[in-house]
Chains A and B, each alone.
Chain A
Amino acid sequence: GAVVSQHPSRVICKSGTSVKIECRSLDFQATTMFWYRQFPKQSLMLMATSNEGSKATYEQGVEKDKFLINHASLTLSTLTVTSAHPEDSSFYICSASQGREETQYFGPGTRLLVL
């Protein structure tokens, strides 16, 4: 149980285009979903927290107009990187939480390369 999927697993795009990443909890309804970013050899950085039906809460320094989060249902959240630039190239990972302890289960991640 507690499986989280992400799509796509890898994407290459041109600078200036937008990229949408989907995160789904496959076998449970997630109370909350989270979006992280990880640069090579660095730790996970939380970008935003998302609850179904409400606006996402962004961490300090994360541009909400650049990283659009939609959480339309208890099993689906999307992250759209708008007008992507090479410095946005990173490993984007979502997680979904469940249970009394709100344990977070991670998706497999999406590797974004902006040319």
Chain B
Amino acid sequence: QKEVEQNSGPLSVPEGAIASLNCTYSDRGSQSFFWYRQYSGKSPELIMFIYSNGDKEDGRFTAQLNKASQYVSLLIRDSQPSDSATYLCAVKGSGYSTLTFGKGTMLLVSP
């Protein structure tokens, strides 16, 4: 059974700090990895995806993937109170169209 694990949090960081969100997955054949942000009462919105080992940067966000360790992370630099939300890690296996979601990590950025 495919599993995606995330610490539920909340992860509290002060404004301007780096927030680090982590995710592990069980299916070694997983190919694509996604980070979504979900504000309370809203639907998820895509932040970024990654499918190669290493880092991928997009603005204040950096996704990091280590397939050997089955680990993917999201770094948020210069965190803002508006970044306070639940961050969902999602994983897609090879040949599958569906995503397996983690339960999400709640991030709280204090002013």
Would you call A108 an interface residue if the criterion is a C-beta within 8 Å of the partner chain's C-beta atoms?
Answer: yes
- A67 neighbours in B (Cβ, 8 Å): none
Of residues 61 through 115 on chain A, the ones whose CB sits less than 8 Å from some CB of chain B are: 91, 93, 97, 101-109
B51 with A101: CB separation less than 8 A:
yes
Q: Specify the main secondary structure of chain A where it touches its partner.
A: strand
Would you call B49 an interface residue if the criterion is a C-beta within 8 Å of the partner chain's C-beta atoms?
Answer: yes
Given that A102-B92, A108-B42, A108-B43 are known contacts, is A44 also in contact with B101, CB under 8 Å in the complex? yes
Task: Please measure, in the bound complex, the distance between the C-alpha atom of A109 and the C-alpha atom of B44, giving whole angstroms.
Answer: 9
B32 with A104: CB separation less than 8 A:
no
Interface residues of A (CB under 8 A from B): 2, 31-32, 34, 43-44, 46, 49, 91, 93, 97, 101-109
Between A and B, 20 residue pairs with Cβ closer than 8 Å are A31-B97, A43-B88, A43-B102, A43-B104, A49-B97, A91-B43, A93-B44, A97-B97, A101-B32, A101-B49, A101-B92, A103-B34, A103-B49, A104-B34, A104-B90, A106-B43, A106-B44, A106-B46, A107-B43, A108-B43
